[in-house]
Amino acid sequence: MRARQPEMASQTETRWYKLEWPVAVAVALGCANSLAQGAASLAKPYQRDYVEGIILAAAAGLTRGEPLYPLPSPSEPVYIFNPYGPLSYYSVALLLKGFGVSFTSPRLLVLLSGILVAALLASLLRHWTGSWRVGAVFGALFLALPITSAWLPALRVDLPGLALSLTGLALFARLPERWYASVPFFVAALLVKYSLVAAPGACLVFLLQQRNWRTALWFAGTMAALPVLAFTVLNHATGGGFAFHMVGGHASPFGLSRILVNVAPFWLIHLPLLLLAFPLVAQRPRPPGALLALIYFGLTSLASLAVGRAGFDLNHLLEWSAALCLCAGLGYHEHMRSGGATVRTLALAGLTVLLASLIWLSWHPVERWTECRQAYAYVQDHPGKRLLSENVGALVLAGKPVVLNDPFAYTLLVKNKGWPEAPLNESVRAREFDAIVVSGDLAYLRRKAPETLSSDSRWSPAFVETLAENYRPTRRFLCDDAAVVFEPAANP
């Protein structure tokens, strides 16, 4: 009997390896689906997300030598809001200089960043579990998730910043005694998006939990000093403009109802992955990497509550999803290594069903922007040079100046911080704009512009009524943020 035990163990291992194939196939299909949709969106000559045009406008301005963080005057109707770190805009500007002003090359940067995030997750799991299968499956799982599928084709700063932050986390996890190698990547991530603090925060908490006081002090001091130094230098160079764009220009109110509507269902969808990670919480001793991964997941869970602020979308949950893939991969490995046959079967079956569901959720075959080409051509061919548009990408690609790059941010400052809206409304009343491009007709705009501080509207009621009195709708398009074109009325 003893001589046959290795053979029986080998057969068992082979059997469980075969049961993993449905999981691997499901992940591969989901990953291929996300990448295919991302690749198909690269060359779309119009913005697919509200913020895409805002980022493109800032980067295009840099190529022309325009300031990135101008200090706006509330009394002058030229309002520019750039809320991200300089590294994000300069990297896009570099691509625009090399390949021309379009969405293609910046979107490719985001797509490659998403692939790099998946590779970093796989590398971390391979390092902690010793299993390349676990690393590959749960690294690729990040690409297969519906949230990644939705944001992978969009020109946003989240995935490039997350790639930098995870690079720092991977370096710290492999060589904690050489913690300083991770610091440049953590700081670079903050210069892309300053809310990416979960990874360096996890490293600091990990050092404190290990009672490595000296290293923790050096790490905390360095991670505090370098961003503060960068902030001081940038703010001085921009005459206070950097502080306004990073802090003063944000007036989004926080609402618990948004968390219940957005975050709670999102967590519920990922409940099977949360259950996979559950053994890591109570297990003693914990497997390698589990403590750091759990701390990271806890901090990203706290950061995910930012979705409760008005205007914050689910892209803020991308880092939470990456941390969940890490914890789920570690938990899965523990299930396969030490769980009984029933536990392993249930884990594999549940994971397969989850992945099949996620693939279905992430499939987006319907193209909503069927007339954006016509809308962009209309803006391009319009004889006027001074246009006001919610769809900023149309102005940028037409080479026309951007007077207001983010109506939502501007209206929040009007509602919540007392900015005067008279200058902009007077420009509308004087019909200084040759055309105004908005996301819907007057009835739609009136429904979206309630007099509440917490509303998500892009225009105030006073603006909408001024528009109705002085402009008339002339063209309509099936295009996000460019659905209706208003032009000056013939008579006062």
Instruction: Transcribe 8-43 into DSSP letters.
Output: HHHHHHHHHHHHTHHHHHHHHHHHHHHHHHHHHHTT
In the chain, which stretches have pLDDT less than 70?
Answer: 1-19, 249, 251-255, 282-285, 308-311, 338-369, 450-456, 491-492
- SS3 at position 476: strand
Burial of 269 (0-12, 13-18, 19+ CB in 10 A): middle
Residue partners of 327: CB distance under 8 A and separation at least 6 = 273, 276, 277, 280, 290, 293, 294, 297
Report pLDDT for 379: 96
Residue 283: CB atoms within 10 Å: 14
Amino acid of residue 205: V
Beta strands, E only, 337-470: 387-389, 435-438
Partners of 472 in beta bridges: 487
**369 and 48 in contact (C-beta within 8 Å)?**
yes
Q: Tokens 């501080």 sit at which residue?
A: 453
Q: What does R_g of the chain's alpha carbons equal in angstroms?
A: 25
CA distance 76 to 464: 19
Residue 18: its pLDDT value, please? 58
The pLDDT value given to residue 10? 38
How is the beta sheet containing 387-389 ordered, strand by strand? 387-389, 435-438, 484-488, 471-476
- How high is the pLDDT of residue 453? 41
Residue type present at position 468: A
On whether the CB atoms of residues 195 and 307 are closer than 8 A, the answer is no
- Is 85 within 8 Å of 258 (Cβ atoms)? no
Residues 309, 311: Cα–Cα separation, whole Å = 6
Q: What is the pLDDT of residue 452?
A: 47
Q: Quote the pLDDT of residue 15.
A: 46
Pair type for strands 387-389 and 435-438: parallel
DSSP secondary structure letters along 442-473: HHHHHHT--S-TT---SS-HHHHHHHHHHEEE
Say what the pLDDT of residue 358 is: 63
Give residue 95's Cα distance to chain centre. 20
